[in-house]
Amino acid sequence: MEATAKYNRGNPAVKRILQEVKEMQSNPSPDFMAMPLEEDIFEWQFAILGPRDSEFEGGIYHGRIQLPSDYPFKPPSFMLLTPSGRFEIQKKICLSISNYHPEHWQPSWSVRTALVALIAFMPTPGGGALGSLDFKKEDRRALAIKSRETPPKFGSAERQKVIDEIHEQMLSRAPPVPQLLTNETNEETNQLPASDASDEHAHKAVGGVNTAGSNSDSVNNDLPRPDSESEIVQHIVEGRTEGVSNHSRANLSRENIPRVAPTPQNPVVAIQKPKHDRLLTLAAFGLTLAIMALVIKKFFKINGLAGYIEGKF
C-alpha cells in the first residue's frame, strides 16, 4: 500500500489529503486531533473533546474517518469508537457532512471543518437519525468520565497504536470532567428543569460574542484561534443547510406551477363568456363547450410545436 500511495501522488485526491495533513499539523486545535494511517492515507483516526458547557464536557471520543477515492467531490464517512450516548459505536453516522448526504457536501469543506461540525452536533438531539442515540444527561456524563480512562480497542495493531497515541495527547490537553458543575446541574435539574435550556441559549449568545471579540482584538496575535472559531461559526450556518435545501426544493416546485398556470387561463376566459350566455338559455349545449375547449387546447399545442420546430432551424 505504501508503494501504491507513493505512486498515486499524482492523484488529486492524495494531493489534497496531504495538504490537509500538513495543515492539521501546522495548526493544531485544542478541541480535536486527527491523523491518517501510514499504510492508507484515505483512512484517518481522530479524537474530539466533548463540547464545553454540555454533558459531554471533558470526554474524549475516538472515531475513524474513511475518505472516498474521489475526495473532495464526495463526502467522507464517520464512525465513532467511544461510547458517548449521542452516536452509536462502530456504525457510520448520518449527518449533513457525511456520506449519507452527498448532495449537501461541499468541496470547500475539509476534515477539520467536519470535526468542528461533529463537536457542534453532539449537544443536538439525535432525532432518530441513523447512528444517533438520545441517552439521558446523567448517562452521558458517566460515559464522558469513562471515556478518559482507556481508549477504545479497534482494528489492527497499527490502528490501535495511532489511537493510543492520540488518546495520550488529548489527555494531556483536556481539562477533567467538571465534578462541581455536575452537582450544580443536578440541583438545577431538580428545582427548575427549564433552566438548562436557558443556560444553553445564554452560552450560545456568549459564544457568539466571544468569537466577535477575539476576531477584532487578537487577529494578529492568535492566528490559530480565529480559524477554528470562524469555522465554528461556519458550521452554525452549515447546520441549517438541510433546511435551506428543503426551501430550495419547495421553491423549485412552486416555480413549476406558474409556468403551467398561464396556459389554461386563456381558454378558461374564452369559455366563460359563451358559457354564461348559453347557460341562461340552453343547458344542453354544455357538451359543445367541452368540445370547443378540447379544440382550443389542441390549437395551442400545435402552435407550441411549430414554435419549437422553427426555433431549431
Residue 72 has a CB neighbour count (10 Å cut-off) of 20
Q: Which entry of 41, 80, 94, 162 is annotated as an active-site residue?
A: 94
Kindly state the smallest distance separating residue 251's Cβ from other proteins, in Å.
Answer: 6
H or E element at residue 66: strand 60-66
Whether 94 is catalytic is yes
Q: Residue 224, preceding bond cis, omega within 30 degrees?
A: no
- Of 149 and 310, the one with the shorter C-beta distance to other proteins is 310
- Of 288 and 299, the one with the shorter C-beta distance to other proteins is 299
Kindly state the smallest distance separating residue 120's Cβ from other proteins, in Å.
Answer: 15
Dig out the grid coordinates for 5 from the structure.
500511495
- Of 191 and 248, the one with the shorter C-beta distance to other proteins is 248
Angle at 13 between CA 8 and CA 18, to 5 degrees: 85
At 131 the three-state DSSP class reads coil
Kindly state the smallest distance separating residue 304's Cβ from other proteins, in Å.
Answer: 5
Task: Provide the binding-site residues for other proteins, judged by CB under 8 A.
Answer: 12, 15-16, 19-20, 23, 70, 72-73, 103-110, 227, 230, 234, 237-238, 240-241, 244-245, 247-248, 251, 259, 262-263, 300, 303-304, 306-308, 310-311
- How many secondary structure helices (H) and strands (E) does the chain include? 11, 4
Kindly state the smallest distance separating residue 89's Cβ from other proteins, in Å.
Answer: 30
Asked whether 118 and 165 are in contact (CB, 8 A), the reply is: no
- Of 13 and 33, the one with the shorter C-beta distance to other proteins is 13
Dig out the grid coordinates for 103 from the structure.
448532495
Phi–psi pair at 78, nearest 5 degrees:
-125, 140
Active site members: 94
